[in-house]
Amino acid sequence: MNEINVLAPASVSNVVCGFDCLGFSLERPFDQITLRRIPERTVRIINRDGFGLPTDPEKNVAGLALEAILRASDADFGFELQSTKHIRPGSGIGSSAASACGAAVAANCLLGDRYSPLEVADFALAGEMHASGSRHADNIAPCIFGGFTLVRSTDPLDIVRLDFPPLFVTVIHPQIEIKTAVARAMLPKEVPLKSAIRNWANLGSLVAALSKGDYNLLARSLEDEIVEPVRGPLIPCFDEIKRVSLAAGALGGGISGSGPSVFMLSETRETAEAVEIAMQNLFSSTVIEFNTYVSTVNPNGVIVV
């Protein structure tokens, strides 16, 4: 095989009480990636979109993932990657993870599926580290494995696929910029033990609710008193987004990644669409540009077309 096309989906990380470990894959938006063998043992990047991402592979998350897999394998060829991104960089729904995972999955296909999904995730992580500045796999994991994933450990990488019931997601992306590094610097170094206990009790309950398909328990478990109070104020109308979404029937939700996107989970597509309308109505009265998406929680990660 000399060429392959993959679709790499957006994903939500830092799922409320699952800060830094829980994520899930979206059905849309997604990036389109074409990877081609080239005779030289090198990596070449061509961007087919208007986002102006770097084409130097050393400065490009997909390029770094490809270099990692090239270094590890004894391939006597290289890769040319053409990328058409639909996930806006900086939106907080796993844009860089999609680039890194799409590239790593495609490269693994061209290498005859030599590596396990966990190994592929590790190559993608090499690229993602460039974007986030540290080893965070909570967008990588759902983008590779699909569905809901829990990163139990980053080093060594230990990823748990969770069972989950049908769920629909509404995402609003207010088009302001929040630097991941800034959002990370705001985090407290220490947290009250009491808050930490409430958080892990909620995360345990959330995992149980997903596995049982208990939507009421899921809604009760979507609580975060550690990160949301610190980062929520960075996002325009954050409290109002939550309020109108819950009023429209959402189970709950919070900041996607380090923002500025906000996601809400719903039991049905109809509710998720009602939540989208409520979000649109709210932001239409502001001067802030925004996008909204309605999606399933996608059981698939990157797919080969």
Contact positions vs a second copy (CB under 8 A): 17-22, 150-153, 158, 160, 162-163, 187-193, 196-209, 211-212, 217, 220-221, 226
Nearest-approach distance from CB 156 to a second copy, in angstroms: 10
Nearest-approach distance from CB 13 to a second copy, in angstroms: 13
> What tokens appear for 90 in the block?
């900086």
In Å, what is the CA distance from 98 to each residue of 24, 133, 140, 162, 265? Answer: 12, 17, 8, 20, 21
8-state DSSP, 302: S
Element (H, E) at 204: helix 193-212
Nearest residue (CB) to a second copy, 111 versus 218: 218
Strands 78-84, 43-47: pairing kind: parallel
Nearest residue (CB) to a second copy, 37 versus 184: 184
**Following DSSP, what letter does each residue of 11-61 receive, concatenated?**
EE-SBTTBTTTEEEEEEEEEEEEEEEEESSSSEEEEE-SSS----SGGGSH
Nearest-approach distance from CB 266 to a second copy, in angstroms: 21
Nearest-approach distance from CB 214 to a second copy, in angstroms: 8
Q: Say if residues 276 and 294 touch (Cβ distance below 8 Å).
A: yes
**Taking the CB of residue 184, how many other CB atoms lie within 10 A of it?**
14
Our CA dihedral for 80, 85, 90, 95, rounded to 10 degrees, sits at: -70
8-state DSSP, 297: B
Nearest-approach distance from CB 201 to a second copy, in angstroms: 4
Nearest residue (CB) to a second copy, 112 versus 166: 166
Nearest residue (CB) to a second copy, 125 versus 272: 125
Nearest residue (CB) to a second copy, 13 versus 83: 13
Q: How far apart are CA 144 and CA 133, in angstroms?
A: 20
End-to-end CA distance of the chain: 14
Identify the CA nearest to 99 among candidates 77, 72, 131.
Answer: 131
Active site (catalytic) residues = 128, 180
Q: How far apart are CA 26 and CA 42, in angstroms?
A: 32
Nearest residue (CB) to a second copy, 59 versus 212: 212
Nearest-approach distance from CB 252 to a second copy, in angstroms: 14
8-state DSSP, 116: -
